[in-house]
Amino acid sequence: MNDAILIAISALDATLRLSAPLIFCAMAGVFSERSGIVDIGLEGKMLAGAFAAAATAAVTGSVWLGLLCAVGVSVAMALLHGFACITHKGNQVVSGLAINILASGLTAALGIAWFHRGGQTPSLVADARFSSITLPGADAVADIPIVGVVYSELLSGHNILVYLAFLSVPLTAWVLYRTRFGLRLRAVGENPQAVDTAGISVAWLRYRSVICAGVLCGFAGAYLSTAQNAAFLKEMSAGKGYIALAALIFGKWRPAQAMLACLLFGFLDALAARLQGVDLPLIGEIPVQLMQALPYMLTVILLAGFIGRAVAPKAIGIPYSKER
């Protein structure tokens, strides 16, 4: 019995760790897409951020400088996206795709040229990584059944970025629903003409939104290379940005729901690792690949309107031009 609880807790523990980068990216997507800018470049920004964080941390030994660089690089790519989509009214999907491919190529090319390790950055020592934090009183309550175990094993002992990821959700929700900027951001994603008529710059609002997205993707990248792993590995984002995009749609472009979707997809990921080669009663062995494909399949089914309806922001993907 106790064993079962411990296994369940370890799976949930892994879920939190695997969901963290998804949540950062999904919140980034909330900012960008609610303002009307399609962001399939989450993946690329995260990957570029991961490289910047690991490279900086490896050279300077400072994990915080690494995080700063990750955010800087990710914001730079977000600005490029903005420059193409907002200033030049380019196709947002094409621009996002360009960013993904650029990030994939640049991180590998620069990594090999600078570090000569086949695209990997040098492994980080413990000081140059985000280490796990023990929450106050975790050791004291560890012996209390269930509540104590949940607190000490599940909630305590993550690195600071995991906590920040979960903090980013209420923060995003607050900005989106409780601030003037958030109101305008949502308005510009639904009806940019109205916002323009009110004398507010559509372009500047959207630029600020994509910058917010860039910051959050930078955090996700730093998490991958300096918290979850101890180095940058080629293509280490491995489709997580697209999963986050799926979670964003699955959560109907709302912060709390998107987080739940991220947790679901993170849980599937954690489960896939644990079910590998395990024969389940009645069903038999579930192929790992099925578990890996499940987030994508669920999103397709949701988008097709078979489980609820996901309605995108109205002005999404349409460049705004004044003269009409």
Partner 1 sequence: MSQKRLPVWVDIVLIPLINVLLAFVVAAGVIFLIGESPIEAGKIMLMGAFGYDEGIGYTLYYTTNFIFTGLAVAVAFHAGLFNIGGEGQAYIGGLGVGLLCLALDAWLPWYLVLPLAIIAGGLFGGLWAFIPGYLQAYRGSHIVITTIMFNFIASALMVYLLVNVLIEPGAMSPETRRIAGSTTLPFMHDVFSAMGIEIASSPLNVALFLALLCCVFVWLFIWYTRWGYAIRMIGFNEQAAIYSGINTRRMVVLTMCISGALAGMVGINEVMGAQERVVLDFVAGAGFTGIAVALMGRNHPLGIIVASLLFGALFQGGAELSFEISTITRDLVVVIQGLVILFCGALAYMVRPSLERIFKRAVAEDKS
DSSP at 128: G
Nearest residue (CB) to partner 1, 194 versus 304: 304
Nearest residue (CB) to partner 1, 168 versus 237: 237
Contacting residue, 55, 161, 216, 246, with partner 1 by CB under 8 A:
246
**244 is written with which tokens?**
């986050």
Only one residue has tokens 């903005």, namely: 82
Contacting residue, 22, 40, 71, 222, with partner 1 by CB under 8 A:
40
Residue 307: partners with Cβ closer than 8 Å, 6 or more residues away: 301
Task: Single out the residue of 179, 246, 190 nearest to residue 212, CA to CA.
Answer: 179
Stretch that binds partner 1, among 9-17, 61-69, 111-119, 134-142 (CB under 8 A): 111-119
Contacting residue, 5, 12, 112, 275, with partner 1 by CB under 8 A:
112
Alpha helical stretches, state H, 198-309: 202-223, 240-250, 255-275, 288-303
3-state SS track over 178-196: HCHHHHHHHHHHHCHHHHH
Contacting residue, 7, 8, 89, 140, with partner 1 by CB under 8 A:
89
Task: Single out the residue of 221, 181, 191 nearest to residue 78, CA to CA.
Answer: 221
Stretch that binds partner 1, among 65-73, 165-173, 210-218, 303-311 (CB under 8 A): 303-311
Contacting residue, 6, 60, 88, 137, with partner 1 by CB under 8 A:
88
State in angstroms the smallest separation of the CB of 142 from partner 1: 39
Q: Taking CB under 8 A as the rule, does residue 3 contact partner 1?
A: no
Q: What share of the chain is helix, strand, coil (3-state, %, to 5)?
A: 70, 0, 25
Only one residue has tokens 């996002």, namely: 96
State in angstroms the smallest separation of the CB of 170 from partner 1: 27
Task: Single out the residue of 145, 39, 138, 152 nearest to residue 96, CA to CA.
Answer: 39
State in angstroms the smallest separation of the CB of 183 from partner 1: 26
Q: Taking CB under 8 A as the rule, does residue 90 contact partner 1?
A: yes
Q: Which of residues 248-267 bind partner 1 (CB under 8 A)?
A: 249
Q: Taking CB under 8 A as the rule, does residue 296 contact partner 1?
A: yes
Residue 3: burial class (beta carbons within 10 Å; 0-12, 13-18, 19+): exposed
Q: Which of residues 272-291 bind partner 1 (CB under 8 A)?
A: 287, 289-290
Only one residue has tokens 């489980």, namely: 307
The per-residue b/e assignment along 160-189, b for 16 or more CB within 10 angstroms, e otherwise, is bbbebbbebbeebbebbeeeeebebbbbbb
Stretch that binds partner 1, among 4-12, 47-55, 104-112, 171-179 (CB under 8 A): 104-112
Nearest residue (CB) to partner 1, 88 versus 314: 88
- How far apart CA 43 and CA 62 sit, in angstroms, is 24
Q: Taking CB under 8 A as the rule, does residue 99 contact partner 1?
A: yes
Nearest residue (CB) to partner 1, 31 versus 250: 250
Contacting residue, 124, 245, 258, 261, with partner 1 by CB under 8 A:
245
Residues that bind partner 1 (CB under 8 A): 38, 40, 80, 83-85, 88-95, 97-106, 108-110, 112-113, 116, 119, 239, 242, 245-246, 249, 287, 289-290, 292-293, 296-297, 299-300, 303-305, 312, 323
